Chain A
């Protein structure tokens, strides 16, 4: 902001500055601008420290031996670097297992959301069929319903799936799909968000492409798969990243439907850590690092897509 107001001050700038600016050539800055720029730097650096430092401190803590964590809490470079916390995390609790579970569920979520999201998104954007509007409005409306409302009934629906988990034909007697991967995969497979997101992408591609292919005698499926889908790759990439993040980070639903410890995800495992290792900050921070690593790495490599995706979704 200060930069935008400052040009106005050029007119009023004292003669001395004007001369100096002319001699410097490269930096056309009035004193007011310089102060503004310095203040800007101070402000952004402070905010950046506030956002990044906690993560850094977590990493540092996770690398310290148990004895140094509390006594040397302030040391930003560990006196001795050790991996013992990671060893404890991976041996005392099946954190490696949690990691694989989370990976499986997040990847399954990505694949299914991409598949169903692009199919349905394409149909809503480019095909004409009866009931399209009503369906789409319902889908959009569901984005407004808070997740908690459908949580208890969804649990019961999964419990009552016929022939699963010892259930009979009418879904009684057993536990249905609870405590299976399906309990997480199925409800998340065709997110309204994925459909909406892909529809927006397909809508921005001109209709003429499909019309031309249709005149050439291409089937509707080929038009989708070979004409439109390749053009929506960028959108699909953004959706994949966002879906992976959401799947990896989801907590409440896995907490509810998975009761077997071997099936826990990293989030559920980490949450139980806080209770069991309340003051054992070393393993706790090591677990936090392992939990955050995949999404942080993904963010580092794909940040442009993520940030563009977030802006795209919210600008509607």
Chain B
């Protein structure tokens, strides 16, 4: 109902008749003016938001219960799409691949981000320069990063296997090997993304009061014990933030798999989002694709809630 108030009120008027401030009437009148302007300011952004986020989110749920496929009729099929999902071997392949990716990517992402943040957390001028260097991969797009790694991971001439060769290791065929393609994508993704989380950890490290280190030092704690008993516990909130972001991102991995391997070799890099993409926009099975995306949403939500619970407990 507030919308109608805002819509019927001529927006130009109050600008012209901006009242001289009467002590008695001022506040309530001002509130009404603010009410109008407030709605005017948010009207267009909220309309766009409604059309492209809220309505689609509702539609997704409805569509997942239909057999909508762009061409042909859409029929109400109830939970059939969800039932079908449980009998679809490709869904489980995609789920397993995504879980595998997440399981490798999240811990590795945390360790690399934390380690680099610890390295840079120093009162040296030059660490700002290195911070820039470390952050550079984040700037490039996943597609550009993927093409770079496509070349780095070339089995014969790529830097990766050449460097491994220096140590006498015969590197695998990476993207052409079904057991190495996913780890390769994980390594690439960690390289591409750790900079952001490193920045978050640097922020967290700056928040640790120096007295804590001093106290630990007086107690005779060395580098390792300070890390274990001072730094890591103080960073637990940051770690949960980082891990939540990583899990949410990991479950939605798509670009890398699309550009580098197209789901291959041997279906080893079909991820959930990749499968939704091929079902929805390749096979035009949009109803089914919506059902899969809802399952993915549910998985992400469960992880987010678990994370929030742990973080929440930590705060109190």
A residues near B (Cβ < 8 Å) are 1-5, 8, 40, 43-44, 47-48, 50-55, 57-58, 61, 70, 73-74, 116-117, 119-120, 122-124, 127-132, 135, 138-139, 142, 144-157, 186-187, 189-190, 192, 195, 214-215, 217-222, 224, 245, 248-249, 251-252, 255-256, 267, 270-271, 273-275, 281, 284-285, 287-288, 291-292, 295-296, 298-299, 303, 306-307, 310-311, 314-315
Dominant secondary structure at the B interface: helix
| B48 closest partner in A (C-beta) | A190
Residue B209, interface by CB 8 Å: no
* 8 interchain residue pairs of minimum CB distance: A129-B38, A153-B56, A249-B141, A190-B45, A123-B41, A153-B59, A127-B38, A150-B56
Residue from A127, A154, A311 whose CB has the most chain B CB atoms within 10 Å = A127
Flag whether B239 is at the interface (Cβ < 8 A).
no
Tell me, in angstroms, the Cα distance from A310 to B49 when the chains sit together.
24
CA distance A57 to B116 in the complex (A): 23
Interface of A is mostly: helix
- Does any Cβ of A come within 8 Å of B54's Cβ? yes
Docked complex Cα distance between A257 and B154 (Å): 32
State which of A123, A128, A144, A146 has its C-beta within 8 Å of the C-beta of B31: A128
Whole-angstrom distance from the CB of B9 to the nearest CB of chain A? 12
Query: Contact at B140–A296, with CB atoms within 8 Å?
Result: yes
B59 touching A157 by the CB < 8 A rule?
yes
Q: Which of B76-84, B88-96, B143-151 contacts A (4 or more CB under 8 A)?
A: B143-151
Chain B's nearest CB lies how many Å from the CB of A62?
Answer: 10
Closest to B151 in A: A281
CA distance A4 to B130 in the complex (A): 19
A145–B118 CA distance with the chains assembled, in angstroms: 32
- B55 contacts A153, CB within 8 Å? yes
Question: B42, A120: Cβ atoms under 8 Å?
Answer: yes
Report Cα–Cα, A249/B297, bound state, in Å.
24
Report chain A residues within 8 Å CB of B135.
Answer: 299, 303, 306-307
Closest Cβ of chain A to B224, distance in Å, is: 9
Residue of chain A at shortest CB distance from B116: A47
Docked-complex contact A271 and B131, CB < 8 angstroms: no
B7 in contact (CB, < 8 A) = no
Given known pairs A214-B30, A299-B136, the reply for A135 and B144 (CB within 8 Å) is no
Verify A251–B2 contact, CB threshold 8 A.
no
> By the criterion CB–CB under 8 Å, are A287 and B147 in contact?
yes
Is B85 located at the chain interface by the 8 A CB criterion?
Answer: no
- Report how far A51 CA is from B196 CA in the complex, Å: 13
Say whether A267 contacts B14, CB under 8 Å.
Answer: no
Q: B290 contacts which chain A residues (CB < 8 A)?
A: 152-153
Looking across the interface, which residue of chain A has its beta carbon closest to that of B210? A4
Can you list 19 residue pairs at the A/B interface with Cβ under 8 Å? A1-B231, A40-B122, A73-B159, A116-B48, A119-B42, A127-B41, A131-B2, A146-B293, A149-B296, A150-B53, A153-B57, A156-B59, A157-B51, A219-B14, A220-B15, A292-B144, A295-B141, A307-B131, A310-B199
CA–CA, A256 to B35, complex, Å? 40
The answer to whether A310 and B2 touch (CB under 8 A), given A123-B42, A150-B56, A153-B57, is no
Q: Can you name 15 extra interface pairs (CB under 8 A) apart from A152-B286, A219-B14, A274-B147?
A: A47-B134, A52-B136, A55-B140, A73-B159, A116-B44, A148-B273, A154-B56, A189-B48, A190-B45, A220-B14, A274-B259, A292-B141, A295-B140, A306-B135, A307-B131
